Every structure is written in structure tokens, then in C-alpha cells.
Amino acid sequence: MTSRVGTDPHPRTGHLAGSSATSLLEDLAAGRTTATALTEAVLERIGAIDAPGTDVSLRSVIATSPDALAEARARDADRAAGAPGGPLQGLPTLIKDNIEAIGLPATAGSLALQGRAVASDSPVVVRLRAAGAIIAGSTNLSEWANFRSPNSTSGWSAVGGITGNPWALDRSAGGSSAGSGAAVAAGLVPFAVGTETNGSITCPASLNGVVGLKPTVGSVPATGIVPIAGSQDVPGPLARCVLDAALLFEVMSATSGAIEACTAGSARSVRVGVAHAWLTGHAATDALFEAALAVLGPNVAGVNDVRVPALTFDVRQDQTDVLVGQMSDDLGAYLAARPGLGVRSLHDLVQFNVDHAATELAFFGQEYLEQSAASEGRASASYQAARDRNVRWARDLCFAPALELGIDVIVAPAYAPSWKSDLVHGDFITGGGDICTPAAILGWPILTVPMGLADGLPVGLALTGPANSEARLLAVGRAIEVALDLRSRGLDQPTWNPAARG
């Protein structure tokens, strides 16, 4: 079939596109559906609209699990026998393909890891399975989580190709968790798992019109996930709504309180600071942000401007130097320890890409991998100086003044609308993302919620706060979501616009 604007490209499984995880759990509990039926629908929808050669070719999924249906039948058998189920009992989900799970490739998008089966589930996947979730497959991503070259194209990997955006198929789905964001927006699954080092959940959530939560670094285990930098890497949920994100976060973090934070009135004690210096410069996006603040005001303790510094070249360069240094240590150790890899070091990886340049280096280079291979890692004096400068800038200049005034949560637009995917020239980000960097440096959480359409494409509002403040972020995010009520206004479903010139 041919995709049409505003039309679901696979109506047979179209109910998945409008269903939240919480509503599907209610259907499972009431016997209106089964885990097997949901998983069959997910796999059918992936096969119909996601794979290369289909009318849409979304390319958000790298692999489906050969065990997914068997897991679903086991969940149904447990339910029929009256066995107690977990909070995600019977729900299919997808994980980013840099997360290890038995039966899935965990390639980080690279041919160097393709065909090298993982030996065990990562801790976060262990928690998902223990909660009753069905790991239906793994999602495409920006190769090596978008830290391979400064000229990269978000959403592209040598294994998965380029992920499309279901709102406009020639637009970027963001990076690096492009596949997870696009899959949720397209209704392939009710929620998915991504990872973030700097913007890699926030950006796909904003560009695809879904909710994304990057948790506090360390609150969710990152073992068994292909790393960039231990001080910034963390997995987190992308979901249809704030409550779904809270549900998945509680399981991933093995904590409670996130779901309770989504109840009405939970944000009334929260003081919100507005970082106008981090506006996107895109008029329609920034106007939606101001409109969101207006409806948020009555639901929180106060909304006040806060002074924050602009990002400078020096700050960005320091962070790049930090990531290069930590990747030298962390990815190097990961490659050496993962069983079955022919690529055992960063030097091996760089050479592999040279040997497979026709595919791996067809569109952009591997400058960051080369720099990491040559780096002395955390032992370098220049690394430590860059890290110290980064932390002081983020802590003392960006956030300390607001916290001293009693501000609990800082908000700014996440990103301007999605840009055209361009494998020749790389990304042309149209604005935004500034709020991500200081939070990334400090390992603080970020929540992104949709705030409407700008130029016909979704844009999000981002909220950050101190470490372990996820409950406050979710409370404010839920208040924004309810106040804007995008679903009743028909602003939550992708338009599936085909590729266009210009």
C-alpha cells in the first residue's frame, strides 16, 4: 500500500499506534488481548512498514528476536495459571542495538560487531524480563551512538541504514537513539529503551514527538551496553506518554515513586526556572515553548526566568576531549572483554573500518575513534583539565545560581523541528539542544515531552534538575502533557509525509 498523509500505513495493526503501555496492560489484565496477540501484531507491523523494501521502509528496527513469540506464550501461560506477573507482564518492547540481550546482535550499528552473539543479558534487560516484558527486537541507532565523526548523519549505521522519521520520512529521526524514538512514534511498540550520552534520548524524543527520559547517570545499570563515556552514559525510556515513561523507568531503575509523581497536583510544589538563553532561535518552536509555559504556570509553585550562560566553542571542545578520553578507556575495555569479537581494541576497530571502507566509511569518517585510539584516556593531564573545566562550567555557571534561588527544575525547548537527513553533508541541526550539555556533563536527568507541531513537525520541551530528581521532572512533565492535551487536538499521531524536494 502507499503511505498517505495522515493515514496509518498498516491499518491492520493501527491500534498499536494509538495505544499506551498502561492501556495495553489494562487490556491484558481484563483478558481483552494476550501477550501472544500483541507480540504477533508488533512483529507484523515491523515486517509491514519498517523493513527495507516495504512501502515505508522506516528502518527503525535492526533485528527481531527469534524468541519473542515463545516468551509471549510463556507470559500468557503464567497468567492463565494465576502466577503473579510483573509490572510489564506481557508487554512487547524494543531495546537499542547497543544493549546486550540474548538472541539480539548488539552491534552498536557497526559491522565490526555484527554476527558476534552476546553471551548474556545486560542487567537492564534482566530487569525488563523479570518484570514480564517481552524483548521483541533491537532498534537502529547512529553508529557507535553518534560518537564516530563530527560529520556524522544522525540515525545512520552501516548495519541498519538510515532511520526515517514517521512524521516526514526524509527527515531525521535524531540521534543516537533514532530507531527507538521512531519506533515508538510509529506505533511499532508502546515504549522502547534508548541510551544517552549527550542528547541521544532527548533529541529523538523531540524530533519524533514522543516522551523521553534520560535518567541520572548510575541510576540504571549501564553494564552490558556498548559504552562511550562512563560519566555520561545511561539507558532510559522513550514512550507514548509520561506515565508510560515513569512505568518503564521504575522497572529499569528498580525504584518506586515515579508513577506516583504522575498523579494530579504532584507538581504544585515545584519551582520552575526558564532558561531563555537556551531558546532554539526557531520562531515557531520558541513560540510553542512560551505557550507551554503559560499553561504550566497555574500547575506549579512558580515560573521564573533564570540566568544561564550560552554554550561556547571551548565548552563543546572540552566535552569532546572528555568523551574521547573516556571512550579510549571504556570502549577499549568493552571490546577486549566481549567474547567472540575479532576486533579486540580501538586500534583493531579503526583498522576494521579502513578495511571495510566501502561500507563503513562511505559517508563520513571516524575521527573520534582515531582520536580515542591515540588517547592516553583518563590518565592524560589534558583530559583531567578538560573534565574539571566542564564540570565547573556546568555546576557553577549553569545550575548553581538557579538552585541557590530555590529553583527545582530548569526548562528550555529541546530542539527545533527535524532537519532533512543528508548523508553527503551530515546533520544540519536547526537549533536547540543547549540544555542537554550541562546536564550531560553532570550526569543529571532530562525529561522531554511533546509541546506541539512547528512547521508541521513535532518539537519537545526539555526539563532538567539535580541528580535523582526524576520524580519532580515527571510531575512537571505530566502537568504539561495534561494541560496541552495534544492527543485530543489530533497532534500526537505521525503524518507519514513522503520524501519531498527542497
pLDDT of residue 2: 39
Q: Which of 3, 142, 200, 206 is catalytic?
A: 200
pLDDT of residue 5: 47
Q: Which of 19, 142, 172, 176 is catalytic?
A: 176
* Helix 68-80 and helix 35-49, axial crossing angle in degrees, nearest 10: 160
Does residue 136 have a pLDDT over 50? yes
* Helix 283-296 and helix 470-484, axial crossing angle in degrees, nearest 10: 100
pLDDT in tens, 208-217: 999 999 999 9
234 - beta bridge partners?
196
Please state, as a whole number, how many other Cβ atoms lie within 10 Å of the Cβ of residue 316: 13
Does residue 340 have a pLDDT over 60? yes
pLDDT of residue 55: 85
Mean pLDDT for 263-272 is 98
CA distances from 177 to 137, 206, 389 (A): 14, 12, 28
- Average pLDDT over the chain, rounded to an integer: 96
Cis amide bond preceding 176, omega within 30: yes
Please work out, in degrees rounded to the nearest 5, the angle formed at the alpha carbon of residue 167 by the alpha carbons of 163 and 170.
50
pLDDT of residue 500: 87
pLDDT in tens, 84-111: 899 999 999 999 999 999 999 999 999 9
pLDDT of residue 3: 40
C-alpha 416: how far from chain center? 17
Strands 92-96 and 134-139: parallel
pLDDT in tens, 180-191: 999 999 999 999
**Residue 96 among the catalytic residues:** yes
Does residue 168 have a pLDDT over 90? yes
Residue type, 408: D
pLDDT of residue 68: 98
171 - beta bridge partners?
420
**Residue 214 among the catalytic residues:** no
**Percent of the chain whose predicted confidence (pLDDT) is above 90:** 95
Does residue 416 have a pLDDT over 80? yes
Question: pLDDT-based confidence at 18, cuts 50/70/90?
Answer: confident
pLDDT of residue 105: 97
pLDDT of residue 435: 98
pLDDT of residue 6: 60
pLDDT of residue 43: 98
pLDDT of residue 502: 67
**Residue 200 among the catalytic residues:** yes
3-state secondary structure of 458: strand
pLDDT of residue 273: 98
pLDDT of residue 501: 78
Does residue 79 have a pLDDT over 70? yes
Mean pLDDT for 119-127 is 97
pLDDT in tens, 451-471: 999 999 999 999 999 999 999
Domains of the chain, each with CATH number or no CATH: 11-311+394-484 (3.90.1300.10)
Q: Which of 19, 60, 96, 177 is catalytic?
A: 96
Place of cell 553527503: 424
CB contact at 8 A, 447 and 211: yes
Place of cell 493515514: 7
Q: Each residue of 339-357: b (16+ CB within 10 Å) or e? A: eebebeebbbbbebbeeee
Does residue 283 have a pLDDT over 80? yes
Mean pLDDT for 47-67 is 95
Task: Using CA atoms of 3, 183, 282, 288 in order, give the dihedral in degrees to the nearest 10.
Answer: 90
Please state, as a whole number, how many other Cβ atoms lie within 10 Å of the Cβ of residue 470: 29
Secondary-structure percent of the chain, ordered helix, strand, coil, rounded to 5: 40, 15, 45
